[in-house]
């Protein structure tokens, strides 16, 4: 296996001088050197063919002993020096101090086809940042990250990706519902990849420690290698950098809203500086369209990270980043302007995203109202978001009276769609039909375009759980099936029709399906 290794992060940035793997506060450094843990009996369960190609690894190489050993942490590639990054973060709104890569170890960076890929093992053992935990990951959370990150890529949402999913052969103790019922689970390791894994928290930690020298080193590095189009570091460049991070963050969140993805833990340590969806933990997919929904049981009370609040949290997190880089700019106004712009852009981008979901391509002043009414209706009785928007593409402009029938399958409790609820839907379809008359596209053309933004297949919470249950018994076929299906989320793929269905009843309140904890 030949990789074009081009390490930058660990070669160019200040490192922790201490080499021992002990938990500690690490100051004046971006990372600590650390070796992955030896695993008992590693086994590769799945590899992403697309990521192999991106990295220049052949399918044969992926079957080699070397691949197995490197991507489960048992062998360190020649001329590489694995490390864990130091970062801090706000967790659920509170400054949590140093966090860092507690169970992620960066192997190296690879250059291929003019792209930079950082390779990182998640679950490869403890690091100086592991705090009270073990640095390991279990199979269920690894399957969820592996499948979802690749699925998000194919949905057109910017994201970190995954190269491989492996069993470590070790047992890992976890208390899933934090109720004192800890049990052993199979340990696993995902090799995930991204241009960079830098998070808001990497900058915050230096600011919190009033270490402006290293803050500047890290920001300059980030601009030079990941935002080089912005030019040489200067006050103006720092402002432009922040503007671009804000834009990318907004863009990512608008896509989440479009496909119904709820991240679940939007802490600032889980916000990528590149605007990538990162850290797939207790995330979930909307089934019933519900602004108030969060999959994360840890957040059940305040629902800080609920679906409808994600854009606001993006803004809140950007404010924390602005505070962190302020010492380099020493002027609040330009940063405030960017944050205000985020609010304006959020309104307009949401509107145009929703227009595209409805197949509206000209701008009409009443669109906001039409969309608001639709969202209100979607909340009247549990209505499946994915099925609703996908089926809506079959709506015929001239046939408003068939609207309800076309989307009927999206209702979880069709019996409730009577009386006033039914009337509100009928009214809405009348309005929609009238609105469509202003468009120039035919029904057929509109359907084609709508189907490119309204996915037919997403990784429903229960689907991931089915794959996990099978995998626990040693059957990995469903992982492969879902992986392949999710490569074409917008395609019809009639062979996978059974996955274009509402959440089955058994999954409504099942742990792992609608309820997830941070325990992983």
CA distances from 434 to 139, 186, 289, 378, 427 (A): 51, 56, 24, 20, 11
Using rule CB under 6 A, residue 141 touches ligand AMP: no
- Is 124 among the residues that bind ligand AMP (CB under 6 A)? no
Name the token pair of 372: 């608001």
Backbone angles phi, psi at 105, to 5 degrees: -125, 125
Q: Does 120 bind Mg ion (CB under 5 A)?
A: no
Report the distance separating Cα 101 and Cα 82, nearest Å.
12
Q: Which of 270, 391, 514, 520 binds Mg ion (CB under 5 A)?
A: 270
Rule CB under 5 A: which of 279-298 touch Mg ion?
A: 279
Question: What b-and-e string marks burial along 304-328, b requiring 16 or more CB atoms within 10 Å of the CB?
Answer: bbbbebbbebbbbbbebbbebbbeb
Q: Which two tokens stand for residue 350?
A: 């949401």
Query: Which of residues 16 and 279 has its CB atom nearest to Mg ion in the complex?
Result: 279
Interface region with ligand AMP, contact rule CB under 6 A, candidates 263-271, 370-378, 428-436, 498-506: 263-271
The residue nearest Mg ion at its CB is 279
| Cβ proximity of 183 and 173 under 8 Å | yes
Is 269 among the catalytic positions? yes
Q: Which of 29, 85, 99, 252 binds ligand AMP (CB under 6 A)?
A: 99
Taking CB under 6 A as the binding criterion, the range among 97-105, 307-315, 379-387, 441-449 that sits at the site for ligand AMP is 97-105
Distance CA 240, CA 234 (A): 10
Considering only 127-135, 245-253, 345-353, 433-441, which stretch makes contact with ligand AMP by CB under 6 A?
Answer: 127-135
If the CB atoms of residues 297 and 433 are measured against ligand AMP, the closer one turns out to be 297
3-state secondary structure of 33: strand
Residues paired with 31 in a beta bridge: 15, 85
Per-position b or e across 56-93, b if 16+ CB within 10 A of its CB = bbeeeebeeeebbbbbbbbebbeebbbbbbbbbbbbee
Is 7 a binder of ligand AMP (CB under 6 A)?
no
Does position 103 interact with ligand AMP (CB under 6 A)? The reply is yes
Binding status of residue 145 toward Mg ion by CB under 5 A: no
- Catalytic residue, candidates 269, 290, 299, 384: 269
Q: Which of the stretches 101-109, 212-220, 358-366, 425-433 binds ligand AMP when contact is defined by CB under 6 A? A: 101-109
Phi and psi torsions of 168, nearest 5°: -90, -25
Give the count of residues interacting with ligand AMP (CB under 6 A).
17
- Between 222 and 298, name the residue whose CB sits nearer to ligand AMP: 298
Query: Residue from 15, 130, 257, 386 that binds ligand AMP (CB under 6 A)?
Result: 130
Residues at the site binding ligand AMP, with contacts judged by CB under 6 A: 99-103, 129-130, 133-136, 265, 269-270, 279, 281, 518
């Amino acid at each position: 296996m030949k990789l074009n290794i081009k390490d930058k992060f660990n070669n160019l940035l200040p490192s922790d001088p201490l080499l021992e793997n002990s938990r500690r506060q690490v100051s004046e450094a971006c990372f600590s050197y650390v070796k992955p843990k030896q695993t008992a009996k590693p086994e590769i369960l799945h590899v992403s063919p697309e990521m192999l190609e991106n990295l220049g690894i052949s399918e044969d190489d992926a079957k080699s002993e070397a691949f197995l050993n490197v991507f489960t942490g048992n062998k360190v590639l020649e001329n590489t020096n694995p490390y864990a990054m130091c970062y801090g973060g706000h967790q659920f709104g509170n400054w949590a101090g140093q966090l860092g890569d507690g169970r992620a170890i960066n192997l190296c960076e690879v250059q291929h086809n003019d792209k930079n890929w950082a390779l990182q093992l998640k679950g490869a053992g403890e690091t100086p940042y592991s705090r009270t935990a073990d640095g390991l990951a279990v199979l269920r959370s690894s399957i969820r990250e592996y499948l979802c990150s690749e699925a998000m890529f194919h949905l057109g949402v910017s994201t970190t990706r995954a190269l491989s999913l492996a069993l470590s052969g070790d047992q890992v103790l976890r208390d899933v519902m934090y109720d004192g019922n800890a049990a052993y689970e199979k340990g696993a390791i995902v090799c995930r990849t991204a241009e960079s894994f830098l998070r808001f928290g990497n900058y915050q930690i230096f600011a919190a420690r009033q270490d402006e020298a290293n803050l500047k080193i890290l920001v300059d590095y980030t601009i030079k290698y990941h935002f080089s189009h912005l030019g040489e570091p200067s006050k103006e460049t720092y402002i432009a950098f922040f503007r671009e991070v804000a834009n990318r963050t907004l863009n990512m969140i608008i896509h989440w809203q479009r496909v119904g993805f709820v991240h679940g833990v939007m802490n600032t340590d889980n916000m990528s500086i590149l605007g990538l969806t990162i850290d797939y933990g207790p995330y979930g997919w909307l089934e019933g369209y519900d602004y108030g929904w969060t999959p994360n049981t840890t957040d059940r009370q305040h629902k800080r990270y609920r679906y409808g609040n994600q854009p606001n949290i993006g803004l809140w997190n950007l404010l924390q980043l602005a505070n962190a880089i302020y010492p380099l700019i020493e002027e609040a106004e330009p940063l405030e302007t960017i944050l205000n712009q985020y609010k304006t852009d959020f309104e307009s981008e949401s509107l145009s995203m929703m227009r595209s979901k409805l197949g509206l391509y000209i701008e009409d002043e009443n669109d906001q109202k039409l969309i608001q009414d639709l969202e209100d209706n979607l909340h009247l009785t549990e209505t499946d978001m994915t099925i609703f928007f996908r089926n809506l593409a079959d709506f015929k402009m001239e046939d408003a009276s068939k609207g309800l029938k076309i989307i009927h399958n999206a209702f979880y409790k069709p019996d409730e769609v009577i009386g006033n609820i039914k009337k509100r839907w009928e009214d809405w379809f009348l309005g929609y039909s009238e609105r469509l008359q202003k468009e120039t596209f035919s029904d057929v053309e509109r359907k084609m375009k709508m189907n490119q933004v309204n996915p037919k297949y997403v990784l429903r919470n229960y689907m991931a759980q089915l794959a996990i249950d099978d995998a626990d018994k040693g059957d990995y076929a469903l992982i492969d099936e879902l992986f392949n299906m999710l490569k074409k989320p917008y395609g019809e793929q009639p062979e996978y029709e059974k996955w274009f269905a509402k959440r089955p009843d058994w999954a409504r309140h099942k742990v792992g399906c609608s309820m997830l904890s941070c325990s992983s």
